[in-house]
């Protein structure tokens, strides 16, 4: 009887380890995807800001300065909102993928 329990324990421990490895692998992939997305957005944002500043230095009238600044702010805001939504979706996907390996394991424990 005790040998059966030890075997079951070893099997459960092995399944737990494998599930944890899969889960943390998904976590690593998700964090890398989020990091790459944030780095890409930061680079684009910096380039757009630099281009806007260059345009502003070439302007001769206050009206044109206000127009260019307004266009830049609108574009920057829209880009930020789109990026925030995209990163939010990546976090949701990350959470789903992180917990996915545990679904089957937890179902087995519940029986």
Tens of pLDDT, residues 49-104:
999 999 989 999 999 999 999 999 999 999 999 999 999 999 999 988 888 877 77
Model pTM score: 0.74
pLDDT in tens, 24-54: 888 899 999 999 999 999 999 999 999 999 9
Burial of 46 (0-12, 13-18, 19+ CB in 10 A): exposed
């Amino acid at each position: 009887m005790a040998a059966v329990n030890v075997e079951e324990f070893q099997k459960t421990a092995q399944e737990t380890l494998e599930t944890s490895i899969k889960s943390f692998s998904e976590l690593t992939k998700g964090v890398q995807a989020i990091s790459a997305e944030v780095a890409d957005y930061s680079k684009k944002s910096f380039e757009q800001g630099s281009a806007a500043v260059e345009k502003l230095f070439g302007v001769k009238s206050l009206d044109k300065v206000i127009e260019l600044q307004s266009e830049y702010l609108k574009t920057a805001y829209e880009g930020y909102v789109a990026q925030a939504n995209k990163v939010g979706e990546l976090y949701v996907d990350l959470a789903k993928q992180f917990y996915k390996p545990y679904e089957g394991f937890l179902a087995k424990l519940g029986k």
